[in-house]
């Protein structure tokens, strides 16, 4: 486990690594934004906890990899605002519309902290487990080589079907 402090954003992030992640061979990796409700409380409203568990299983199976856990709750809006967005969603708006009604963009996450994290760990290239093409683009903009995008397939349920559809239709996620 490796801890990192982003003094500018006043946030702490961590990376879990398995095996030797240094070298020129691409590292199996997941960049995961914190989701207390999904990761720890097993919310059915999102697929975050399932994606986290699937990524950890894939890394364990591969015997080598890194999970970057970024403290960016609710696509960057924070826990309390995410709870407010949930209440709005109960009235009909989707996840993007709820964030926008609260005065936020659809996705306000900042991935710039990843550059020093990758440098510290001496990771030069990744096979990135994500459904989000914007995350691939963000890493590439930071100079991080994304050798391959690997989709994370998780089952949907009646509570997150609209959420997943919105991620595909409005945020460009590829499932």
Residues labelled as active-site residues: 107, 109
CA atoms within 13 Å, Cβ hemisphere of 114:
30
Residues 6 or more apart whose Cβ sits within 8 Å of residue 118: 124, 142, 144
What is the spatial distance between Cα 117 and Cα 123, in angstroms, rounded to a whole number? 9
**Tokens describing residue 111:** 């991935």
């Amino acid at each position: 486990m490796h801890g990192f402090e982003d003094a500018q954003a006043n946030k702490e992030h961590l990376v879990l690594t398995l095996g030797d992640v240094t070298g020129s061979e691409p590292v199996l990796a997941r960049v995961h934004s914190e989701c207390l409700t999904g990761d720890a409380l097993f919310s059915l409203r999102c697929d975050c906890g399932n994606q986290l568990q699937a990524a950890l299983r894939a890394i364990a199976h591969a015997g080598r990899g890194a999970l970057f856990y970024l403290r960016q709750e609710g696509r960057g809006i924070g826990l309390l605002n995410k709870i407010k967005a949930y209440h709005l969603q109960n009235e009909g708006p989707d996840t993007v519309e709820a964030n926008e009604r609260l005065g936020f963009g659809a996705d306000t996450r900042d991935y710039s902290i990843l550059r020093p994290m990758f440098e510290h760990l001496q990771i030069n290239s990744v096979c990135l487990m994500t459904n989000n093409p914007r995350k691939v683009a963000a890493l590439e903009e930071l100079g991080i080589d994304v050798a391959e995008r690997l989709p994370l397939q998780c089952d949907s349920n009646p509570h997150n079907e609209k959420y997943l559809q919105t991620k595909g239709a409005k945020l460009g996620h590829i499932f």
